[in-house]
Structure 1
Amino acid sequence: MKKRIIALLIGLVVGNNLVFSQQDSIHIGFILSDLYSARWYNDMIFFKERALEKGVKVTFIDCYDQIEKQKEAAIKLANIGVDCIVLVPIDSHDKQVVSIAKNANIPLVTYDRFLFDSDVKLCISFNSVKVGEMMAEQVMSKLESGEIFFLGGPKSDFNSTLVRKGVVSSLKDKRNNYKLSIKHATDWSEISAFIEVQNYFDENGSFPDAIICASDDLTKGALLAVEEKGYLGKVLLTGQDATIEVCKSILKDDVLMTVYKSNKKLAYASVDAILNMLKGNILEFNEEANTQFMQVPAIFEEPELITKENLVEVLVSKGIYSEKSLKE
């Protein structure tokens, strides 16, 4: 996506033009998707870390991957009177939290995932199309032709659609070389991936040459399925999130690659942007997000490709893992 810098006086678009002085105590409500995934737990830790540095109070609510619980969380935060609500949407088209925040004059920020047809003040995420492109390009670098199975997360999460878009666009010019089949799991869990990959085998009598998984949790499920049939290391597998389990599998040549997205960078950028927004400061954004309702100021962090060749160098140097932990 073409980069463009947009300078905005955010104080003009926030609720009732609420502006805080340095002495004001700011309270952020963070509605999470779930905490059973290490991904979201780490985001919470880093968001809290940065908020504490800035003297900001944060109330986190885990919604156990249930839309209705996100609605209940929004009502609770509105009643508490938080200054901003940060949401990791479970369903990109569900507008219950949007309505609650708007009625309470509380600015809503989406974190990592998108909300469609909605009035939000800021979108902070990663370039998911690029993630899909990275996956497809790595597979093509190892596979001149063959069958590729794209296993995405639930369609309700638009990030899954964006990853798929990146995969499809990368394969488009070489569509005669590859047979691509697409399936979206019911959720982002390991068990859902295991079921979908097992179903693929049952329907086709074999596994594809490559399985492009849109997240590491899906990759772990795919790994179990291919291992059960004795295909471990024979099917190219991709992932996203650089979890330690998948990183270890990359070092053992059981997985081709994953994508590292810095939880810390995203969380820190979010806290800083929200504080500037509430204080009415002028901010610079590198993108805009189209919610199909309005163009929303956005910050898109860049993902980083992780392969066996650069895994230790990149992740150890960033302090994500130690060499010892990767070998355990």
Structure 2
Amino acid sequence: MYLSKPEVFSVPIRYINFDILGIEKNDIKKARHHVFIGVILPNQRESRWVRDKEAMEREARLREVNIKIEFNDFNIEKQRIAVEKLISEGVNALIITSIDNGDEASLVDKAKESGIKVIAYDLLIKNSEVDVYISFNIIRVGEFQGRYLTKNVPKGNYILLSGEPSEGLLREGAMTYIQPLIFMREIRVVTDQVVKGWDPDNAFKIVEESLAKSGNRVDAILAPNDAIAGASIKALENQGLAGKVAVTGQDADLAAIQRIIQGTQSMTVLKDSRELGKVAIETAIKLVEGKYIDYNAIKNNGKKDVPSILIEPIAIDKSNLYTTFKETEYYKDGF
């Protein structure tokens, strides 16, 4: 279930009026030294996650709170070890990027049993007692991808790729545009496959096999993110098809921007992770301090309605690439 709320509203978790209690701002800063935020991100290979890490560390310094960041490398065992390690080290807020929608609920339970506030970051943790979900408007990302493909390639053979662990709303958004044309037999799906672990090597093999199976008759590739888009384009290059097949993406990685300029990748979606990381740290502090949480949506994770903060993404192609990055200063050093 996905319910979008038109206006920002608040969850009254607990409110402390520091003025009434006679607590000075300096005392608040001192108290913040006791805020210890643990974070688990997927990896440091992709620039997307490097930006999240840097944004969180920067915001933690500005807010004068302690932070420790671990990485799970899309491995559930590493995720478990990282969660247990951060709990043992005494964090009072935990920001987790989900990689497995089954086992992680038990990890959330462990944290909650220790009185730790838990934020699901980027992907919602299913059937869990998370306090808040923070992400981009993922369904909008999928809509951008599907709309671009169907507008520019309304007929032809499609390869549909999705990541695992999956974000159902990403797929749902894209298929809003693609599925009607499949029903009308304007679009023929030659491959519809999951890329395990969001691994570019797996994506390369899938696209390579799809091209061989179809005799290179492919017109569009729905790639869920830029890393998978890059791998798909490598497979296309091997067949002399790079730039001739529409390929989507997500994350606005530097390599993807360069591919768009070169004409081998069609579009990407900018999700300014600087803002996402900043909001995550702000929210973690509010949870620990018992303050109101402003949210703009509710998402049901199978167990509860989770207050959610969803940030809007920006679709990027050649037509708006330069103006978008000039306005956002996302790549200050150019590309």
Does TM, scored on the shorter chain, surpass 0.5? yes
How far apart, in 1, do the equivalents of 2:28 and 2:260 lie? 49
Q: CA RMSD in A?
A: 1.7
Residues 1:49 and 2:58 are matched in the alignment: yes
1:7 aligns with 2:20: no
1:122 aligned to 2:132?
yes
Cα deviation for residue 207 of structure 1 reads: 4.0
Cα distance in 2 for residues equivalent to 1:283 and 1:85: 16
Please say if 1:85 is aligned against 2:88. Answer: no
Counterpart of 2:286 in structure 1 is 276
Number of residue equivalences: 315
1:68 aligns with one of 77, 84, 88: 77
Q: Does 1:162 align with 2:169?
A: yes
Q: Partners of 1:297 and 1:37 in 2: how far apart?
A: 28
1:140 aligned residue (150, 165, 168): 150
> Would you say 1:174 and 2:177 are equivalent positions?
no
Helix, strand or coil for the counterpart of 1:44?
A: helix
Cα shift at 1:317: 2.6
TM-fit CA distance, 1:10: 2.2
TM-fit CA distance, 1:276: 1.6
The answer to whether residue 257 in structure 2 is matched with residue 247 in structure 1 is yes
**Which amino acid counterpart does residue 304 of structure 2 have in structure 1?**
M
**Could you tell me whether the CA contact under 8 Å between 1:207 and 1:235 is conserved in 2?**
no
Once the two structures are TM-superposed, the CA of residue 172 in structure 1 deviates from its matched residue by 3.1
In structure 2, the CA distance between the partners of 1:143 and 1:150, relative to structure 1 (3 Å rule), is: same
Distance 1:242 1:54 in 2: 28
Deviations along 1:96-154, one digit per CA (max 9) or x if unpaired, are: 32122022121111110111111100000011111111111111221231122111111
Specify the code of the residue in structure 1 equivalent to 2:67: V
The AA in structure 2 aligned to 1:97 is L
- Written as runs of structure 1 = structure 2, the 5 A alignment for 1:1-328 is 2-4=4-6, 5-11=8-14, 21-24=28-31, 25=33, 26-94=35-103, 95-154=105-164, 157-159=165-167, 161-175=168-182, 176=184, 177-180=186-189, 181-322=191-332, 325-326=334-335
- Structure 1 counterpart SS, 2:5: coil
Distance 1:112 1:43 in 2: 10
Structure-2-length-normalised TM-score: 0.89
Q: Give 1:8 deviation, angstroms.
A: 1.2
Deviations 1:147-177 (A, max 9, x none): 22111111xx232x22111111122333312
Distance (whole Å) between structure 1 residues aligned to residue 220 and residue 158 of structure 2: 5
Distance in 2 (alpha carbons) for counterparts of 1:254 and 1:64: 28
- Structure 2: tracts of 5 or more residues without a match: 16-26
Residues 124 and 270 in structure 1, CA contact (< 8 A), matched pair in contact too? yes
The whole-number CA distance in structure 1 between the counterparts of 2:12 and 2:319 is 44
What CA distance in whole angstroms lies between the structure 1 residues aligned with 2:101 and 2:10? Answer: 27
1:151 match: secondary structure: strand
Counterpart of 1:286 in 2: which secondary structure? strand
**Which deviations, in whole Å up to 9, do the C-alpha atoms of 1:191-241 show, x marking residues without a partner?**
111111001112222242100100000001001000001111111111000
Residue 121 of structure 2 contacts residue 135 of structure 2 at CA under 8 Å; is this kept in 1? yes
- Give the partner amino acid of 2:112: K
Tell me, yes or no, if the aligned pair for 2:29 and 2:64 is still in contact at 8 Å.
Answer: no
CA distance in 1, matches of 2:199, 2:84: 28
